[in-house]
């Protein structure tokens, strides 16, 4: 241990042992607290949060059974269920070690100890303690979020037949561990569906981890998803768990899965088949337990026909498909959504706006919404910010029109990459380089457009 980290509580009836521990550990840990009387354990645990508890197994003179240690272990775990306890004793055997681990101890150290080995054991125990603490904090936050989001489909607005079908599907599959595949255009609410599935699942008290695969460079794919070991590559300065490990026990949402290259698809498929990951630079695999939800805005079935997406991977990820309708196919929800967003933004920007005029609502209903609900939300936010009246008017909504037609672009090649590049260049020019606006017109996320721009050197 190169820096002082961790707080240690050492309990042993032998003061010489405690003095030796203090002498050894004082230069390696933030705090080393020693105590000869185990009866003070509850008081000590109440006053301080210890990363590791070093606990003797025998406190009565001539006792060698270790039962006292087991009894105190039970009391420690009753007070602190996530406590990391390392037994330390002069009377050790395999049977006691196995029993200690079964009862909840983390490790078992024999007296007299080897200094290097003891330091290594304590270092590992501190890391375990910190990992447990981080996981507990994350779970606590997740519970708070879930408590706030007490509606069955929080943030999901829609009375249309199309959305009722979506809600019905979520109710049917949420409590299963089936892999779900969400299909829908940009801005239709794919992540909202994933979160609704998680909140209504048996894993609701565990973590929900969202990963935008479109934003991960191919060179970092394995490190980000599966983790890496210290020294595995130039910038790997410490061990790092991947998203699969972090999400284990909970739900993992992989968005924009259609952007994965074939080699990356193969690696993902292997992980899903084996239900284990191997960190970059590691020799041994680690088991993972995730509920997988994937999403894409691409025509995945066409990609399979084009052999740009693996059919066997699709079988793995789409036990159940959820189709999210574009906003133009559920026009009856537009007013409901608009009024919902209006309520949010008049409060946020402290405006005294009372509603939306009939003419403005007619304009919203007739618009095609290439950016779907996300575009409607942004339109409402801008209108609230810019409006000076008590009612939002038609002129408050500056909606993007898709006047740019492919026919207006000279196509002198049938190379699809060249055609795509020319369209992106033209739309960027027409929007003075505004990537957000260009992405909306092209029906892409900003991340996806940036990736294409990088691909073509724009």
Q: Are residues 349 and 209 in the same domain?
A: no
313 with 366, same domain: the answer is no
Mean pLDDT taken over the chain:
85
- Position 46 in a domain: yes
pLDDT at 410: 56
Residues 23 and 109 in one domain: yes
**Does a structural domain hold residue 64?**
yes
- Identify the pLDDT of residue 239: 83
- Same domain? 290 vs 203: yes
| Burial class for 414, CB neighbours closer than 10 Å (0-12, 13-18, 19+) | exposed
Average the pLDDT over each of 55-69, 138-152, 296-310, 380-394 and give the range with the smallest value. Answer: 138-152
Q: Is residue 331 very low, low, confident or very high in pLDDT (cuts 50, 70, 90)?
A: very high
User: Residue 155 and residue 145: Cα distance in Å, rounded?
Assistant: 13
pLDDT for 64 beyond 70? no
Residue 141 lies in a domain: no
Q: Are residues 34 and 129 in the same domain?
A: yes
pLDDT given for residue 94 in this prediction: 61
> Looking at residue 150, what is its pLDDT?
45
- Give me the mean pLDDT over the 431-455 stretch: 79
Q: State the DSSP H helix or E strand holding residue 292, giving kind and residue range, or none if neither.
A: strand 291-296
Please indicate, yes or no, whether residues 195 and 240 belong to a single structural domain of this protein: yes
Residue 156 lies in a domain: no
Rounded to the nearest 10 degrees, what angle do helices 190-199 and 161-173 cross at? Answer: 40
Residue 125 has pLDDT above 80, yes or no: yes
20-24, 114-118, 358-362, 400-404 — which is least confidently predicted? 400-404
Task: Kindly state the tokens that stand for 335.
Answer: 């007013």
Q: What CATH number has the domain bearing residue 282?
A: 3.40.50.300
pLDDT value of position 369: 92
Same domain, 280 and 337: no
Tokens representing residue 126 in the block: 């501190």
Which residues constitute the domain of residue 435? 406-455
- In a domain, residue 119? The reply is yes
Indicate if the pLDDT at residue 151 is higher than 50: no
Same domain, residue pair 280 and 426:
no
Residue 413: per-residue pLDDT: 66
Does 110 map to a domain?
Answer: yes
Asked if residue 417 and residue 284 are part of one domain, the reply reads no
Number of structural domains (the chain) is 4
pLDDT at 10: 92
Averaged pLDDT, 420-448: 80
Say what the pLDDT of residue 342 is. Answer: 94
Is the per-residue pLDDT at 139 higher than 80?
Answer: no
Q: What CATH number does residue 97 fall under?
A: 3.40.50.2300
Co-location of 229 and 354 in the same domain = no
| Mean pLDDT of all residues in 384-405 | 79
Is 152 part of any domain? no
Q: Are residues 283 and 392 in the same domain?
A: no
CATH of the domain at 362: 1.10.8.60
Q: What is the predicted pLDDT for the residue at 412?
A: 63
Q: What is the predicted pLDDT for the residue at 148?
A: 42
Judgement on whether residues 111 and 77 belong to the same structural domain of the protein = yes
- Domain assignment present for residue 175? The answer is yes
Tens of pLDDT, residue by residue over 1-11, are 457 888 999 99
């Amino acid at each position: 241990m190169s820096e002082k980290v961790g707080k240690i509580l050492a309990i042993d009836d032998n003061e010489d042992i405690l003095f030796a521990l203090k002498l050894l550990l004082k230069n390696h840990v933030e705090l080393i607290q020693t105590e000869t009387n185990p009866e003070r354990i509850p008081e000590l645990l109440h006053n301080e949060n210890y990363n590791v508890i070093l606990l003797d197994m025998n406190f009565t003179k001539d006792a060698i059974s270790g039962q006292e240690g087991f009894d105190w272990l039970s009391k420690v775990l009753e007070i602190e269920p996530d406590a990391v306890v390392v037994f330390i004793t002069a009377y050790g055997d395999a049977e006691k070690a196995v029993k200690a681990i079964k009862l909840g101890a983390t490790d078992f150290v024999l007296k007299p100890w080897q200094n290097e080995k003891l330091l290594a054991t304590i270092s590992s125990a501190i890391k375990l303690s910190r990992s447990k603490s981080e996981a507990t904090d994350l779970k606590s936050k997740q519970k708070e979020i879930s408590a706030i989001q007490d509606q069955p489909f929080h943030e999901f607005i829609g009375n249309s037949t199309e959305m009722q079908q979506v809600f019905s599907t979520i109710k049917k599959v949420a409590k299963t561990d089936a892999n779900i595949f969400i299909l829908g255009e940009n801005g239709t609410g794919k992540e909202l569906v994933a979160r609704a599935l998680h909140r209504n699942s048996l894993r609701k008290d565990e973590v929900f981890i969202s990963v935008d695969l479109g934003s991960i460079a191919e060179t970092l794919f394995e490190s980000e998803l599966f983790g890496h070991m210290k020294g595995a590559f130039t910038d790997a300065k410490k061990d790092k768990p991947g998203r699969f490990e972090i999400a284990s026990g909970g739900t993992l949402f992989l968005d924009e899965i259609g952007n994965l290259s074939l080699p990356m698809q193969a690696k993902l498929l292997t992980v899903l088949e084996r239900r284990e990951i191997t960190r970059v630079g590691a020799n041994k695999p680690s088991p993972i337990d995730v509920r997988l939800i994937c999403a894409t805005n691409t025509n995945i079935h066409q990609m399979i026909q084009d052999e740009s997406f693996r059919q066997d991977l699709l079988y793995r990820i789409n036990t159940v498909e959820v189709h999210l309708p574009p906003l133009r196919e559920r026009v009856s929800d537009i007013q409901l959504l608009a009024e919902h967003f209006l309520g949010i933004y008049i409060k946020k920007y402290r405006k005294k706006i009372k509603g939306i005029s009939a003419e403005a609502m007619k304009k919203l209903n007739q618009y095609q919404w290439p950016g779907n609900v996300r575009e409607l939300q942004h339109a409402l936010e801008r209108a609230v910010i810019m409006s000076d009246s008590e009612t939002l008017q038609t002129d408050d909504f500056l909606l993007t029109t898709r006047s740019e037609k492919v026919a207006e672009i000279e196509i002198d090649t049938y190379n699809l990459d060249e055609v795509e590049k020319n369209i992106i260049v033209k739309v960027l020019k027409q929007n003075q380089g505004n990537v957000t606006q260009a992405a909306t017109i092209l029906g892409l996320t900003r991340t996806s457009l940036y990736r294409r721009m990088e691909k073509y050197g724009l």
